[in-house]
Structure formats: C-alpha cells, structure tokens
C-alpha cells in the first residue's frame, strides 16, 4: 500500500517568508509525528498528533512553528518568518493505533537563503 | 527521564566483516518499546525491528540480529557479513508508548 508522502520534496525560500510543509500519513493511521533533522544530526521531535486528542507541541522550537491536522489525516507544518537556522529536513511519520511503530515519509528539505 | 545513547558516532568496516552497533537506553517505565531504524544515503528512515520490554528473546533476520538485555539496558544490533548496501546511519529509539526518543545515530561505512 501507499506509504507516508510529503510535499514538496524540496523547498527553497527567502529569509522572512512563510512556508507550509504537507504530510499525508498512511491511510488509517491515527498518530502523526513531525521531526526535524539538521545536516548530519539526529531527529529532533517537533509535534505529535493522536486521533482527536490535543497535540503534544512540546518540541516546537518557537512560536513561529505551528502544525495542524485536518480530519484526522493530512497535516501541515507551518513555519512563519523563516530563519536560516530553520534549514533542515522535515520528516513526518505515522503509526497505527494498535502498534506504535512509526513509518516515515521521505522528508522535505527546506533551505532558507 | 527517557534517553537513548548510541556512543559510536561512526564505524568503518570492510565488506564481509561482522559489526555490532550499540544502543543503551534509560527509562523508568516498566512497559516500553525499542526500535532500530536505518537511514540510507537516500534519506528515508526504514523500520527494521520493534521489541517490547517483556520480550527479551534475541531475534535474527537474515544477516541482522538483535540482542536485548534488560539487565544492562541495552539493545544492540549486529550485522553479519556486512555488505556495501548496509552503509547507512542507524538509529535506535525508545518509546514508553507514543513519544519517541531517538539516539543520535551511528554512521556505518562498509567499504568494498
């Protein structure tokens, strides 16, 4: 079946602009996660959605970052007034309710000039 | 507190050598899950294995094997007869249920 998809695969933007990154989880998966991975680094947790529960936003680095998940499926991560330090690969993962294994998408590479 | 430590930042081996990637974790939860993921140069993380805290049986899958020892809080990963295609960054992760805690990763270079 289809895996997690993310769009765009690459995004180049200018400092100060807003960007939106999209994640389509595996159909039927109730949990959705966003991570950030800077070049050569590990995964930094950003935010977690589980069903209709309030999201765990504890990893969002600043109030410029926000995310929503509409209809329990697609999620959008928005970064406002982008800064050069926001440059990274943004990874999305989803997992089914009965099994907490995370399945990752290919990521969106964000470059802020 | 939850923490995963992968002390080996980078390992280089020659093809056909065996290699073990270490993972040590910390948790106060009695029920938790451990994972290994592979991130090849293409970038997409690939799920390798999931283990729950009540199952300490070692597992073998082809050239891959995992050694889970609760007594030492370790979940080590061994690749037997390594191949160039095994070159990747490998991440160990811990979750009490939903929030994941990843190690910093071990970069494995397998040279022909």
Q: Is the pLDDT of residue A1 over 80?
A: no
| Rounded-to-integer distance, Cα B88 and Cα B79, Å | 12
Digit-coded pLDDT (tens) for A7-31:
999 999 999 999 999 999 999 999 9
| Rounded-to-integer distance, Cα A86 and Cα A106, Å | 18
The torsion of the CA quartet B3, A37, B99, B107, rounded to 10 degrees, works out to: -50
What's the pLDDT at B38? 97
Mean pLDDT to the nearest integer, A69-95:
94
Mean pLDDT to the nearest integer, A42-69:
92
Digit-coded pLDDT (tens) for B31-53:
999 999 999 998 899 999 999 99
Q: Which of A101, A105, A106 is closest, CB to CB, to B47?
A: A101
Q: Kind of pairing, strands A19-24 and A5-7?
A: antiparallel
pLDDT band with cut points at 50, 70 and 90 for residue A86: very high
| Rounded-to-integer distance, Cα B48 and Cα B56, Å | 17
Phi-psi region of B9 (alpha: psi -120 to 50; beta: other; left: phi over 0): alpha
Digit-coded pLDDT (tens) for B56-98:
888 888 999 999 999 999 999 999 999 999 999 999 999 987 7
Which residues of B make CB contacts under 8 Å with A?
33, 35, 37, 43-47, 50, 91, 95, 97-100, 102-105
pLDDT band with cut points at 50, 70 and 90 for residue B1: confident
Residue B17 · residue B108 · CB < 8 Å: no
Q: Is the pLDDT of residue A99 over 70?
A: yes
Residues of B in contact with A106 (CB under 8 A): 43-44
pLDDT band with cut points at 50, 70 and 90 for residue A95: very high
Mean pLDDT to the nearest integer, A94-111:
92
Residue B70 · residue B25 · CB < 8 Å: no
Residue B35 · residue B92 · CB < 8 Å: yes
How close is the nearest chain A Cα to the Cα of B72, in Å?
24
Distances (CA, A) of B59 to A13, A86, A87, B62: 46, 39, 38, 10
Percentage above 90 pLDDT, chain A: 80
- The distance between the two most distant Cα atoms of chain B, rounded to a whole number of Å, is 43
What's the pLDDT at B107? 97
Q: Give residues with Cβ within 8 angstroms of B52, minimum separation 6.
A: B31, B32, B33, B34
Which residue in chain A has the smallest CA separation from B99? A48
What's the pLDDT at A40? 80
Please indicate whether, in this complex, the C-beta atoms of B44 and A50 are within 8 angstroms of each other. Answer: no
| Rounded-to-integer distance, Cα B63 and Cα B49, Å | 13
What's the pLDDT at B72? 95
Q: Which of B44, B99, B102 is closest, CB to CB, to A43?
A: B102
Q: Is the pLDDT of residue A97 over 90?
A: no
What's the pLDDT at A75? 96
């Amino acid at each position: 079946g289809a895996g997690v998809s993310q769009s765009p695969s690459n995004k180049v933007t200018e400092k100060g602009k807003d960007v939106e990154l999209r994640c389509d989880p595996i159909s039927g998966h109730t949990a959705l996660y966003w991570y950030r991975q800077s070049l050569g680094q590990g995964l930094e947790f950003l935010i977690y959605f589980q069903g209709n529960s309030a999201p765990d936003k504890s990893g969002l680095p600043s109030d410029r970052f926000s995310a929503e998940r509409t209809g329990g499926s697609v999620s959008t991560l928005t970064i406002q007034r982008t800064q050069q330090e926001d440059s990274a690969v943004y990874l999305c993962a989803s997992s089914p309710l009965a099994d907490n294994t995370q399945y990752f998408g290919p990521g969106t590479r964000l470059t802020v000039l | 507190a939850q923490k995963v430590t992968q002390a080996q930042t980078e390992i280089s081996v020659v093809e056909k050598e065996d290699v073990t990637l270490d993972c040590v974790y910390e948790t106060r939860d009695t029920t938790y899950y451990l994972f290994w993921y592979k991130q090849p140069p293409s970038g997409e993380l690939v799920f390798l294995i999931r283990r729950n805290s009540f199952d300490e049986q070692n597992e073998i899958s082809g050239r891959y094997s995992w050694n889970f020892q609760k007594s030492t809080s370790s979940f080590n990963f061994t690749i037997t007869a390594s191949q160039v295609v095994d070159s990747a960054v490998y991440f160990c992760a811990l979750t009490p249920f939903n929030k994941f805690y990843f190690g910093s990763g071990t970069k494995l270079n397998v040279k022909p």
